[in-house]
Amino acid sequence: MTGTRAAFRLSLSALRAHKRRFAGTFLAVLLGVSFLAGTMVMGDTLRANFDTLFVDANTGTDAVVRSADVIDAGQGGGVREPVRASLAGRLGKVPGVAAAVPSVQGAGQLIGSDGKPVGGQGPPTLAGNWITDARLNPYHLVEGSAPTSEHEAVINRGAAKKGGLKVGDTAVVRTPDPLRVRIVGIATFGGADGMGQVTFTALTLPTAQKYLTTGPDRASAIQVRAASGVSQREVADRIAPLLPKGSEVLTGQRATQENQDEVSGRFLGVFTTLLLVFAGIALLVATFSIHNTFAIVVAQRTRENALLRALGASRRQVVGSTLAEAVAVGLVSSLAGLLGGVGVALGLKALFPALGFGMPTGGMVITTAAMAVPLAVGVTVSVGSALVPAVRAGRTAPLAALRETAVDRSGASWKRAAAGAVLGAAGIALAVVGASGSPQVPVTATGAVLVVIAFVVLGPVASTAAVRVLGAPLPRLRGVTGALAGRNALRGPKRTAATATALMVGVAVVTLFTVFGASLKATMDRTVDRSFAGDVAITTPAFGAGGSGLSPRLAPAVGELPQVRESVGLGKGVAKVDGGGRELTVTDPRRLANVIDLGSVRGSLDGLGTGGVAVSRGEAGKHGWHLGSTARLVFADGQRQPFTVRAVYERGDLSGDYLITRRAWAPHRVQDRDTLVAVAFKDGVSLGAGRAAVEKTAAGYGHPDVQDRAEYAKSAARGVDLMLSTVYALLALAVLIALLGIANTATLAVHERTRELGLLRAVGQTRSQLRAMVRWESVLVAAFGTVGGLGLGAFLGWALVRAADSAGTSAFAIPVPRLGVVLLVGVVAGALAGLRPAGRAAKLDVLKAIGVE
């Protein structure tokens, strides 16, 4: 027991004596834990705030009646068949029901005062009816009045702010048919500016039905308020027997729960998972840095540990004292990290509204898990990283006390080289096999993990060669100072590799995403290039669940223009095929081939009628369909209808996998809208002239974008840049931690080379030469890490693109300029990391440095 205490006392005094050496470790853990804790706290807070918001907004609704069937084709939530609005009248007479009102909701995008669409970059842009029963309406007027005529609307405060709209302004709502309205009121949702970022335009019930549904008696749902003293359960039970087949009733609580789950699952879930993944990467990078620090410190302390062993300390006591140091560092920095995490969450919460991301307000929610998990992770990372160095410290022979200061200069063993080579070869083979032929993501992923491990294992083997190559120009550039920097980087191959590995991991992830993004863009370019046979495309650029699409009347109107040879609109429908939701393309299949190249077509696109469908070759293969086969489609209204496969076409990348006629879709439609109008000009019509004419016509339909082929390809890939910017921002922390690691190693190296630095100064090295020497060494290490990361990331990117490409249509692209920037950033950052250690080295007093034992 006393032995343990002695070991602990030793480690504490060691920590006190070498605070500076652990500064880097401390910061690495602190940053990683802050990121992790911040993410968890923010996720919990947002979730709780959204939950409160929905409870507040829906508090007056006791029951909701809607169609039971839902089809989810992957994007923007499920699609339900409307119910009869007249049902509300009947339900209103049920005893115990105080009010029952129809609720209509559809896509409707506002155009702001600047003429640009409001929102649409992710969250839904909705329009619906203004529910006149104030307690049933989740929105509450804070200004103006409710709409009373077809050309009046209430909008939520968030949309008003974003679009620069106020009461009395005139605006256009794309429903998608443009509807010109006067803003008569501004409303809040459960006390907030809106339901998160969702925009909402409220019209009168008849207007909403006219523009957002396909008939006058339709509603998305019926909202019911119970009389006082009647519970939600009771009112739901009383309504249930009166409902037509295919409808369901759920309590207000259940409906609120669904709203909450939807936001948590669809938005917050993705958001927090993404952040957690990057917090994990940051902590992984931190692990490398911390391990390296402990390895160096233990090596530097060999004499001290040997003396302890000679004086009678047991192996366990030496190991224990090193581990106790790790625990202390981990604990202190993790606790500081928790504080930092709460700070990060607070900062982000304040930052989001400033960036235009209105989030529901409310207090911070700090759960036990959000504190305990990051703390545990932080301590585990510290102790785990110190484990191997601690065991090595325990193995110190007492005799080592008598030797010269031992520094770990051990190079790479042949065992390491062999193991790394085998791992690497196996990994590359698996990745390549999984990526070629019929792609298999799990095989490639396994290979990718092996390759990463091989890179880490091979680091020390590769570092010597890599530093020699990278450092080759240094002597010519910087003379003997450069040569010394290069030699110094070669001194401890293990150390150089471990330092560089942290950066390598960060850079590899950056590169992976960069390559993946560029390949996505290249794929879009190629798709448009190959499959888009028209001259211009009319779209309403939107992202995720946003946007309202195009009026179905636009395509025929454009078709009337004298410059236009062909104008075809493509709408979206959904149906279940073999139990899974599928998107259908609703269009005129016969004319579609004039503007979109479907590749070779077997069968005929003519006369699909109401019972025929054209299917892409890939999809037909999956279901085993041939010409004449029967495809059973189930629509949102519950109708199942057999379709005959009348044509099978080669390429569905632009047109979608199922083509049906508008007449076939008409009975099942919910809100008429096209997502794309493809236009081809007549021979001899210039792009400029044709485009101007199309733009003029389109202006009358809510100003959608008219794009030439290049612009269309670019806008289709716009989400990629957004994704990349987010990823870069999230990876910045991991890269920062890696650079701290480089700085830390440089500081430790300066410490152990004190006498040598003193000698150099004595025989005539100037301070600036000394600084340059230290800086160049860290530049070399950073360059090694960056180049390794670029190579690793590019390979993993290639494997990922190929493995994820089951249709064989993806392009692979290496964005050289962008990766050049990554390289430059890595090297410059290396110089920055060396700045402080270089400054400290230059401040050394020559005489003291030479005299140091």
Partner 1 sequence: MTAAARVVDAAKVYGSGETEVRALDGVSVDFPAAGFTAIMGPSGSGKSTLMHCAAGLDTLTSGSARIGDVELSGLTDKQLTVLRRERIGFVFQSFNLVPTLTVRENITLPRDLSGRPADPEWIDALVDVVGLRDRLHHRPSELSGGQQQRVAVARALAGRPDVVFADEPTGNLDSRSGAEVLGLLGRAVHEMGRTAVMVTHDPVAAAHADEVLFLADGRLVDRMPEPTAERVLDRMKAFDGRAPGARRTPQEVGP
Which stretches of the chain bind partner 1, using CB under 8 A? Answer: 479-481, 483-484, 487-488, 490-491, 755-756, 759-769, 846-847, 850
Residue 543 three-state SS: strand
Q: For the chain, how big is the Rg over CA atoms in Å? A: 33
Least CB distance from residue 408 to partner 1, whole Å? 15
Least CB distance from residue 364 to partner 1, whole Å? 53
Residue 755 three-state SS: helix
Cα separation, 226 vs 61, in Å, equals: 8
Q: Which is nearer to partner 1, 245 or 476 (CB)?
A: 476
Question: Which residue is associated with the tokens 């910087």?
Answer: 478
Least CB distance from residue 356 to partner 1, whole Å? 53
Least CB distance from residue 297 to partner 1, whole Å? 21
Least CB distance from residue 769 to partner 1, whole Å? 6
Please report how many Cα atoms fall inside a 13 Å half-sphere around the Cα of residue 435, on the Cβ side: 21
H/E stretch holding 792: helix 767-803
Give the chain's largest Cα–Cα span: 102
Q: Which is nearer to partner 1, 71 or 760 (CB)?
A: 760
Q: Is the peptide bond before 817 cis (omega within 30 degrees of 0)?
A: no
Least CB distance from residue 799 to partner 1, whole Å? 39
Least CB distance from residue 830 to partner 1, whole Å? 20
Residue 835 tokens read as 């700045």
* Residue in 293, 731, 729 with CA at minimum distance from that of residue 506: 731
Under 8 Å between Cβ of 624 and 578: no
Q: Which is nearer to partner 1, 25 or 769 (CB)?
A: 769
Least CB distance from residue 366 to partner 1, whole Å? 52
Length of the chain: 853
Q: Which is nearer to partner 1, 296 or 359 (CB)?
A: 296
The DSSP annotation for 444-505 comes to HHHHHHHHHHHHHHHHHHHHHHHHHHHHTTHHHHHHHHHHHHHHHHHH-HHHHHHHHHHHHH
Query: 109-111 and 170-174: which strand pairing?
Result: antiparallel
Least CB distance from residue 743 to partner 1, whole Å? 21
Least CB distance from residue 758 to partner 1, whole Å? 8
Residue 103 tokens read as 């609720």
Q: Which is nearer to partner 1, 387 or 759 (CB)?
A: 759
Cα separation, 452 vs 456, in Å, equals: 6
Q: Which is nearer to partner 1, 209 or 481 (CB)?
A: 481
Least CB distance from residue 748 to partner 1, whole Å? 17
Q: How many CB atoms lie within 10 A of CB 68?
A: 14
Give CA separation, 711 vs 528, 567, 655, 714, in Å. Answer: 10, 18, 18, 5
Cα separation, 262 vs 540, in Å, equals: 25
Q: Which is nearer to partner 1, 449 or 759 (CB)?
A: 759
Q: Which is nearer to partner 1, 247 or 778 (CB)?
A: 778
Cα separation, 743 vs 123, in Å, equals: 42
Cα separation, 428 vs 431, in Å, equals: 5
Q: How many CB atoms lie within 10 A of CB 638?
A: 13
* CA–centroid distance for 63 within its chain: 36
Q: Which is nearer to partner 1, 626 or 843 (CB)?
A: 843
Q: Which is nearer to partner 1, 732 or 846 (CB)?
A: 846
Least CB distance from residue 841 to partner 1, whole Å? 14
Cα separation, 550 vs 571, in Å, equals: 9
CB-based contacts of 281: which residues, under 8 Å, 6+ apart? 505, 506, 509, 731, 734
Under 8 Å between Cβ of 786 and 503: yes
Q: Which is nearer to partner 1, 490 or 800 (CB)?
A: 490
Query: 117 φ, ψ to 5°?
Result: -65, 145
Cα separation, 622 vs 577, in Å, equals: 11
Under 8 Å between Cβ of 360 and 22: no
Under 8 Å between Cβ of 643 and 611: yes
Cα separation, 94 vs 255, in Å, equals: 21
Say how many Å lie between the first and final Cα of the chain, rounded.
Answer: 35
Least CB distance from residue 763 to partner 1, whole Å? 5
Least CB distance from residue 765 to partner 1, whole Å? 5
Question: Which residue is associated with the tokens 């007093």?
Answer: 845
Residue 590 identity: R
Q: Which is nearer to partner 1, 266 or 487 (CB)?
A: 487
Least CB distance from residue 428 to partner 1, whole Å? 35
CB-based contacts of 212: which residues, under 8 Å, 6+ apart? 104, 105, 106, 107, 108, 127, 128, 175, 671
Q: Which is nearer to partner 1, 34 or 488 (CB)?
A: 488
Least CB distance from residue 397 to partner 1, whole Å? 21
Query: 63-67 and 221-226: which strand pairing?
Result: antiparallel
Q: Which is nearer to partner 1, 485 or 794 (CB)?
A: 485
Cα separation, 123 vs 825, in Å, equals: 34
Under 8 Å between Cβ of 698 and 538: yes
Q: Which is nearer to partner 1, 692 or 847 (CB)?
A: 847
Least CB distance from residue 762 to partner 1, whole Å? 5
Q: Which is nearer to partner 1, 381 or 750 (CB)?
A: 750
Dihedral of alpha carbons 97, 99, 104, 109, sign: negative
Instruction: Report the alpha-carbon angle 764-768-773, nearest 5.
Output: 85
Least CB distance from residue 406 to partner 1, whole Å? 13
Q: Which is nearer to partner 1, 574 or 774 (CB)?
A: 774
Q: Which is nearer to partner 1, 372 or 480 (CB)?
A: 480
H/E stretch holding 327: helix 315-354
